[in-house]
Amino acid sequence: MMQVVHSRFNALLSACVLSLIATASWSQSLTWLGVLPGGSSSEAYGVSADGSVVVGMAINAAGQERAFRWTASGGMQDLGTLPGYNGSYASGVSADGRVVVGWAENAAWEYRAFRWTASGGMQDLGVPSGYDRSNASGVSADGSVVVGWYDDGLGPRTFRWTATGGMQNLGSLSGARNFGAAYGASANGTVVVGWAENGAWQYRAFRWTASGGMQDLGTLGGGDSYAYAVSPNGAVVVGRAWNAAGQWRAFRWTASSGRMQDLGTLPGSNNSEAWGVSADGAVVVGCAYNVEGSYRAFRWTAAGGMEDLNTTYASLLTPGSELWVARAISPNGRYIVGWGYNAATYRTEAFLLDTQGTPCTLNGDVNGDGRVDDADLLIVLFNFGNRCP
């Protein structure tokens, strides 16, 4: 009888060992990007296609705004500023992470759009004659097209910049003054989105092409709307618009439908805004108020609606930490960047969220949840003796 018991026990152990084989799971991760040496805070505004490069703004030890470029191997790199002053801000990055755009102050304390590369440093893109300020806010996938706005103190004007053509004004909506700002460009730089004033002194989201000019994308029933990002193929535009109740709502506009879709908001609140969109237009990120009236980073999909990233990825957050704003998303929808509160360092910090993770092989992770625990053992025990038909 004892021999039978030992045989069954050995069989059970064998089953456990065989079941607790190397199982591939996915290690989702949240990386707080830190700050510049001696600095106090940071915010992320752009991410490369593979998630390896993040750009944004950080406050340095002297309390100055500085554009940064972050990599896992090199950490946070201060991109400097234009000669003569100390402020800069990075708002976009090319798909390969080699070109960074934004604004920096020159010796006259004037904001100037810049284009940065490792080999050329920070290049002042200048301003058209008669203007004194400019700001770059978006860049094409290969870094050859930069979009933004320039200003003379009376109001901003949209531009599309190339090395050969310089700053091209994108015009205006019908019957309106030439006021507006460009925020995003398609992968090939042929589609530009932003906001412009219409003939009724309202700000309207626009989508521009060379052949069609500036198209008014409308609103959600209110007076104003702003477009902040466009999908790489130029077919999906996201931003924020007033609804009929006077609330800001994140929207998603598609060329196929020709209309804005209200993406809603988080439970218990009224306001939201969209800042980034994936290549296929299926995933949108941004920020929305929660029921307590605090900003929370969100991700939207047609199937899941608007989800609070703090809830979805709660297991990655240390107690007290919060994700406030999701500002950009990689084309494949995997990487999300923005900023929030890092409770471990007691400061506002840029973050990089990897929603998929890299394959992580764990011996014994039967249920594929990224850890080996009692749940894995119970699965083996409850299925002991089962056979394939």
Where in the chain are the domains?
1-21+368-389, 24-367
Calculate the dihedral angle through the C-alpha atoms of 270, 47, 164, 136, rounding to the nearest 10 degrees. 40
What is the reported pLDDT for 364? 64
What is the reported pLDDT for 18? 41
Greatest Cα pair distance, the chain, in angstroms, is 99
Question: Which residues, in sequence order, are CB contacts of 296 under 8 Å at separation 6+?
Answer: 266, 287, 288, 289, 290, 308, 309, 310, 322, 323, 324
Class at the top of the CATH hierarchy for domain 24-367 = mainly beta
Output the six-digit token pair for 370.
């990224």
| Parallel/antiparallel/unpaired status of strands 322-329 and 305-308 | unpaired
H and E: helices and strands count for the chain: 3, 28
Are the CB atoms for 67 and 79 separated by under 8 Å? yes
Q: Please state at what angle helix 2-19 crosses helix 374-382, rounded to 10 degrees.
A: 120
* Residues in the chain, pLDDT under 70: 1-26, 358-371, 373-385, 387-389
What is the reported pLDDT for 348? 98
Are the CB atoms for 223 and 240 separated by under 8 Å? no
What is the reported pLDDT for 78? 97
pTM of the model: 0.86
Q: In 329-354, which positions are buried (b, 16+ CB within 10 angstroms) versus exposed (e)?
A: bbbebbbbbbbbbbeeeebbbbbbbb
What is the reported pLDDT for 11? 45
Give the separation between CA 257 and CA 255, rounded to whole angstroms.
6
What is the reported pLDDT for 154? 87
From the number of C-beta atoms within 10 Å of its C-beta (0-12, 13-18, 19+), residue 181 rates as buried
What is the reported pLDDT for 178? 84
Give the separation between CA 356 and CA 194, rounded to whole angstroms.
30
What is the reported pLDDT for 74? 95
